[in-house]
Structure 1
C-alpha cells in the first residue's frame, strides 16, 4: 500500500467517525468538567485578551488546527483549505505527518501549501519519533516551520497492518531532535493521551511543550483496525487517557518543570476549549471536527465556524471573569464522574479545583496525597 492511499484511507475513516459531530455535541469526558457559576464575576468583553504564549511565540488566540494530513492530491487540497482558514482566522496550524514527503519528494506541494496559502502564520511541521535530525531539517525547511511536532503513536502503529513494531529508540531520537533544532519541539500523542510520568520523561529529554492529545476524538486504533483484513484488533478501541485526565494528571510536572501543556483530542465545542484552558492548557487543538466542516461545507463554512468559536471562547471568558487565558486557571471547576475517580486513584486533590478563586495562588494540582 502506498503512502498516498493510506493517507486517503485515514481521511475517509476519520471523516466517517466525526460525521455525527456536526449534528451536535456528543457525550465526552469534557462533560466531567463543570464551571462553578458566580453570577457577579463577569467582566467586560473589551477587556478580554485571547492572546497566549507558546514556545516564545505569541498566538492571537488559544486555538489551533492540529495535525491531520498530506501526501496525496486529495489531502493536498484539504491542506489548502485548512491553511486558508488558518490565515483568515489567525490560528496556528500543524501539518500531518510528513513521512510521505521524506519517502517521495514529489508530494512536497501537498504539505508546502500550508505555508504558500498562509505565508505569515504560525506553521508546525510534523514527523514521527523515528525521525533523524536530518529528516526533521528537511521537513522544517519545506514549510519554513516555526516549530516541529513529533508524534508518538505506539497504539496506532501496533494496530496498523504495516506499522512499526519497535519503539525503543523513540526517547533517544526525541532527545536528539531537541538538541539539534533551533525551533521548539512539541511532542504530541495521536489520541491516546500523555500521562504525568511521560511528561516527566519528556522534560528529561529536553522537551518543553507537550500536546497531551487524549482519547475522545479521532480514534486511530479503530481506523487502523478497519484497515486490517479481519478487523481483529478492536480490543484497543477504548485505550488511553482522556484529554481532561491528561491535563489534571500532568499539571504537577508541568508547573514544576516549566512545561507548556497543549490540549487536543475530543474537543467538540468552544466550551470544551475553555474547559481545557481552565485545566492548564496554554492552547487547544482541533482536528476531526474542523475536517468534517471543511469536507461537508468547504473553506468558507470552516472560516465561519472558527470565527464563531473564537467569539464564543471570548464570551465564555467574559462571564467567567477571566480577562486572560492564564486567568482561567483561577476559575472554580467541579471535577466529577470518571475524572474525579482518576483524581482519587492518582492522588490528585479534585476538591481543590472547586475552590481556586478563593486563593488564586492555589497549588492543589501539585499536591498529591
Structure 2
C-alpha cells in the first residue's frame, strides 16, 4: 500500500520544528483567576495528586497526548522515550494515529509500547472518519492489541481533514459507527477532538452511543490547520485562515458542565503548565493532556521527558497547596475556587 501516511507523520513533525507559530499559545487559561489561600491549613508534603484512570493508578492527572507513530527511526525513538518516561513517572500516554500501521506493517513497532510501560495507562488511537473508509471493529481491536491499550481514542478532526491535501472528509453518519465500536470493543472508546473542541452537541451524540469518556481538546495550542498549510504547496491560505478556529479549551469545559456527573472529561489543547492543569480540573476535567511540551524532549531522551513531567507535577501540586486542596477530588469541579473570569 502507499507510504503516504507514513511520510505525512514526518512532515508534521518537521512543520512543528520549523514553524513555532503552529503552537498558537493563546493562553486562554490566563483569563481564569483562582482564590489564593494564605492559610491553606495543609502540609505541602501531604498533598495527594494521585488519581485512578481506566483501572490504573496515576501519580497525578497527566496524559501525554497523541503525537506520532510510523516506520521511521525518529518516531520510534519518540514513542519509546515517551513510554519509558510515562512508566517511570506514573502518567498516562496516548499514541498517535495508528492508521499508518495498516498501510505500513513495519510501523507497528512504533506503537507496541506495553513492554516499555507495563503498569501505566496507555491509549490506542484511530481516526473516527476512517469508519467511513473501510475501518471497523477488526481494525479497532487490532489497534488496541498492538499498543496493549486500556482504551481507544477515536479522534475527530474535520478541520484538519478539510485542509489536508489528501484529507478524508466524509464525516456523515459516523455516530452510529462509533456506537458499534463502543459496544463491541473490549476496552472503552474515548472521543477526542484534535484542537478545535468538542461541543455539548458532540458529547450528546457520543453519549447516546454509549461513550463515557470525552477529550474536549480545544483551541489554543497546536494548530493542525496551520501544520497542514505547510503541506499544501498550492498557494492556498485556507490553513492559515482557520488556524485559530474552534472552542477554546476552558470554554469547552465550561459548556460541558451538564455532563460532568455522567461522563469523564479530559482537558487538552493549549495546556502548558501545572497551573493550567489545576484550572482544568477545577472546570471538571479528570485528566489533563499535553503534547507540544513533550515533542522536543522526546526527540532527545527519556530523561528529558521525565524532567518535563516532574516540572509539571511540582507546578500542579504547588497549585493544589496554594488553593488549600488536599486531593484532586476536592478540587475537581470546585468552581468556588474561581474568583474571576475575564
Normalising by structure 2, we get a TM-score of 0.91
Structure 1 residues 64 and 17, CA gap change in structure 2 (3 angstroms): farther
Aligned with 1:250 (options 235, 245, 256): 256
How much does 1:19 deviate? 8.0
How much does 1:309 deviate? 1.3
Structure 1 residues 20 and 240, CA gap change in structure 2 (3 angstroms): closer
Q: Are positions 1:332 and 2:340 aligned together?
A: no
Secondary structure of 1:193's partner? coil
Name the residue aligned to 1:241.
247
* CA RMSD after TM alignment: 1.9
How much does 1:228 deviate? 0.8
Aligned with 2:310 (options 303, 307, 310): 307
Provide the C-alpha distance between the structure 2 equivalents of 1:215 and 1:303, rounded to a whole number of angstroms: 26
Provide the C-alpha distance between the structure 2 equivalents of 1:88 and 1:16, rounded to a whole number of angstroms: 30
Provide the C-alpha distance between the structure 2 equivalents of 1:294 and 1:79, rounded to a whole number of angstroms: 7
Provide the C-alpha distance between the structure 1 equivalents of 2:288 and 2:243, rounded to a whole number of angstroms: 24
Provide the C-alpha distance between the structure 2 equivalents of 1:56 and 1:306, rounded to a whole number of angstroms: 21
Q: Are positions 1:8 and 2:10 aligned together?
A: yes
Name the residue aligned to 1:275.
279
Name the residue aligned to 1:320.
323
Structure 1 residues 20 and 104, CA gap change in structure 2 (3 angstroms): closer
CA contact (8 A) 1:17 1:218 kept: no
Structure 1 residues 198 and 19, CA gap change in structure 2 (3 angstroms): closer
After superposition, the C-alpha distances for 1:317-350 in whole angstroms (9 at most, x for unaligned) are: 111111111211325213433xxxxxxxxxxxxx
Structure 1 residues 325 and 307, CA gap change in structure 2 (3 angstroms): same
Aligned with 1:288 (options 265, 287, 292): 292
How much does 1:18 deviate? 4.8
Name the residue aligned to 1:139.
143
Gaps of 5+ in 2: none
CA contact (8 A) 2:25 2:270 kept: no
Structure 1 residues 335 and 196, CA gap change in structure 2 (3 angstroms): farther
How much does 1:208 deviate? 0.2
Gaps of 5+ in 1: 338-369
CA contact (8 A) 1:191 1:240 kept: yes
Secondary structure of 2:225's partner? helix
Name the residue aligned to 2:126.
127
After superposition, the C-alpha distances for 1:68-96 in whole angstroms (9 at most, x for unaligned) are: 10013121111111112112111110010
The aligned length equals: 330
After superposition, the C-alpha distances for 1:50-71 in whole angstroms (9 at most, x for unaligned) are: 1223345433310011111001
Output aligned runs, 1:168-207, within 5 Å. 168-207=172-211
Provide the C-alpha distance between the structure 1 equivalents of 2:64 and 2:182, rounded to a whole number of angstroms: 23
